[in-house]
Amino acid sequence: MGPIIGITTRRREVQSSAGTSPTHTLNDAYTQAVERAGGHALLFVSQDPATAAAMLDRVDGLILSGGGDIHPAAYDGPDHDSVYGLEPNRDAFEFALIREAMARRMPTLAICRGLQVLNVALGGSLHVDIQHDIDGANDHFLTGDPVYETPVTVNLEADSLLAAICGATLAGVNSIHHQSVKELGAGLRSVGTSTDGVIEAVEHEDADWPMLGVQWHPEFLSDKADPFALALFESLISAAAG
């Protein structure tokens, strides 16, 4: 049996036989990408942060998935009309997960919101809205067909693990976010930026922690057999296999 990868979920209101119900959800693209890479998914629902250690005892690796915004209060950020999908309970649980994963040096892939959770958990801050905060920034919140395309070019640091996985220092990616890293959290380094200066990828200075944070959504690109996206998940599964 391949490594077991814990993946965080989000709460949404969905229609059920009982009417509109709050439900823990995760796009199937995540689990398919993990299985494609040789792993098995175990979904984590947001709960008491004190359970983080026990939850990670059950898995070999961790994916922090995408979703709504982190509450600005978590990084002393301003309110903004674009902020959406706040889940303070999820924030607290995922902050605890990432700190525990770092303590264990557990293989981790932080995707979109997940990268932002990682950054804030380690003391960093966010641009509350990219186009509001960064002069000349492009619209990074693309939806529809572009989620399966690669319209954004990311420059990768040549000495990064990410460049080694990609096999190049330029990567084409998708983009479904309106927030991004502002001040880096403790121990993090930016290893990928888009052409308009937005931080798109981070790694940790501790080489013993196999962790990657990417602002794009490789799970969608994996569905289209994008080789870089596939390699990201394969790298996680390989590290989780020990």
Active site residues: 112, 217, 219
In angstroms, rounded to a whole number, what is the distance separating the alpha carbons of residues 2 and 230? 16
**Residue indicated by tokens 């915004």:** 69
Tokens at 56, concatenated: 């990670």
Phi, psi (rounded to 5 degrees) for 37: -85, -5
